[in-house]
Chain A
Amino acid sequence: MIHLNPTLFESLSEAERDAVFRGHDELSKDLAATGELVGSAALAEPANTKTVRVRGGVPAVTDGPYIEAKEHLAGYYVIDCDTVERATEIATRIPDATLTAVEVRPVMNASGLEM
């Protein structure tokens, strides 16, 4: 999960921004080649966010994010790899890790063992 600070990102030079995009392209290509990439998406700006609440069965839709913060969730990669160590290693290659931070979290699965 890639957290982005838009103010920080806008302060980058064109070359720096290009390097970020290039880093993502290269990472996607490498992860596809290793068979570890399950999916990825870049999420639009919070300005495009709609927040939905349902109270007492009545939906209310408002403009803007649920949580107001300097950073927002800007995108994610879903990967399938052997270990947590490998996952964090991949995360170090996400360019945004040098600017803000990248969170690594397991995806819940439908498998389970009776106890």
Chain B
Amino acid sequence: VTVGHAIEDRLRVLAPQVLGPLVRRYGHFDTCEDAVQEALLAASVQWPDGMPENPKAWLLTVASRRVADQLRSDEARRRREDTVAAYAPTEQHAAADDDTLTLLFLCCHPTLSPPSQLALTLRAVGGLSTAEIARAFFVPEATMAQRISRAKQTIKAAGATFTLPPDDERASRLRVVLHVLYLIFNEGYTASSGPDLQRVELSTEAIRLARALHRLIPDDGEVVGLLALMLLTDARRAARAREDGSLVPLAEQDRSRWDRSAIEEGVDLITEALARAPIGPYQVQAAIAAVHAEAPRADDTDWAEIVGLYELLEHLAPGPMVTLNRAVAEAMVFGPQAGLDRLAALDDDARIAAHHRVDAVRAHLLELGGDEAGAYAAYRAAARRTTSLPEQRYLEDRAMRLRRAE
């Protein structure tokens, strides 16, 4: 690890810890957030020549000065407009931990659209620059800057304050936070086969944020479940794509390349959570990932256990994607026809009937059942429907393989 990387990592941990006190002191989340970004930038330029004795105090000083300057220059205008600061400074002292949690809730405010929640969380809590976030989402920097600035205006207009949500809203607000971290993870995980190595590793960042959240709310089973799910999924990263970026299906992955320490940590986390916390969808998904992770070979997979877990998941959080995965698991236990029967239930489901994954699963099950012509047609249909280049390539390969076999 280079000095530069060590400093970047340090800065990103400090970002929310600096932003919190600033917002409490001055109000004006928007201005403070910009000021912290500028302080982070200044630090990344200056620190490699010598770290300050107290990095957090250094950042606080630089950012405070910046906020004060900005507020002074805004003062005349504000006096004229007589606006009320949306973020009334609160006097109570809060620990850095509470600040990070409060920021997470604020950035995942329900009035924001998911893309805005993701972007704002990565910047204000994750300490990433707008340019890094823009690259990660494949949009121009100006587009991302606009999205972030608009997100800040939206939460200001919603009258959100820099305090933890009230108790009666806390559970539902936490669900939004978890969903945002899940989306950040997926964005990074699905892209990790892509050719762009310049991207910030979003899945790594999501795991870091989920770890922080777990440290702040250690007793919440779904936080543990999400963290375990991320670790167990990310453990497959090195095996899920070939050098050329093409995807390797789970059953064909070289399991010796799976990250054992991540699996161990994920399994430990989910085992403990299942034993003591109320069950929830992330925990069940983590449990399913754990069953896969613990099979030494694909043939050793305990599919019966997975079927049971999907039944539970369908009960807790029903949805077409769950049904789709359940069909695969049932096919492995009861034979391809059982899976195809389950799949038929999705034919009339407008949410998913035209989704390429239905055709992909159908193709796979038809192939298992020996219907090569049917499988070929379904793979081709799936390949035509997907908007993912690596998935399209994988599906075309499967189809071509069947044609060659004919």
Contacts and interface: CB of A to CB of B under 8 A. Distances in A.
The reply to whether chain A is a binding partner of chain B is yes
Interface of A: 32-39, 80, 82, 106-115
A112 B139 contact: no
Nearest to A82: B113
Q: DSSP class of A's interface residues: helix, strand, loop or mixed?
A: loop
Contacts of A108: 387-389, 392
Contacts of A38: 139-140, 143
Interface stretch (B160-168, B207-215, B245-253): B245-253
Contacts of B360: 115
Nearest to B248: A114
Contact of A110 (B114, B248, B253, B389): B389
A99 to B, nearest CB: 28
A114 B114 contact: no
B173 interface: no
Interface stretch (B54-62, B103-111, B190-198): B190-198
Nearest to B143: A35
B360 to A, nearest CB: 6
Contacts of A110: 191, 193-196, 245, 388-390
A91 to B, nearest CB: 17
B138 interface: yes
B363 to A, nearest CB: 10
Contacts of A113: 189-190, 247, 388, 391
List 7 tightest A-B contacts by C-beta distance, closest first.
A35-B147, A112-B390, A110-B194, A111-B190, A35-B146, A112-B388, A112-B391
Interface in B201-244: 236, 240-241
A27 to B, nearest CB: 15
Nearest to B150: A35
Nearest to A106: B387
Contacts of A106: 387
A32 B146 CA distance: 7
A54 to B, nearest CB: 23
Nearest to A80: B139
B394 interface: yes
B161 to A, nearest CB: 25
Interface string B99-128: 000000000000001111000000000000
B351 to A, nearest CB: 12
A33 B389 contact: no
A7 to B, nearest CB: 34
B144 interface: yes
B364 interface: yes
Contact of A109 (B114, B145, B248, B388): B388
Contacts of B116: 35
29 contacts: A32-B142, A32-B146, A33-B146, A34-B146, A35-B115, A35-B143, A35-B148, A35-B150, A38-B140, A39-B140, A80-B137, A80-B139, A106-B387, A108-B389, A108-B392, A109-B138, A110-B196, A110-B245, A110-B389, A110-B390, A111-B194, A112-B394, A113-B388, A114-B241, A114-B248, A114-B250, A114-B253, A115-B247, A115-B250
A115 B190 CA distance: 11
Nearest to A33: B146
A80 B133 CA distance: 14
Query: Which of B143, B189, B387, B394 has the largest number of chain A CB atoms within 10 A?
Result: B143
A112 B191 CA distance: 6
Contacts of A82: 113-115
Contacts of B144: 35
A109 B392 CA distance: 10
A14 B334 CA distance: 70
Given A110-B196, A114-B247, A36 B389 contact: no
A108 B196 CA distance: 15
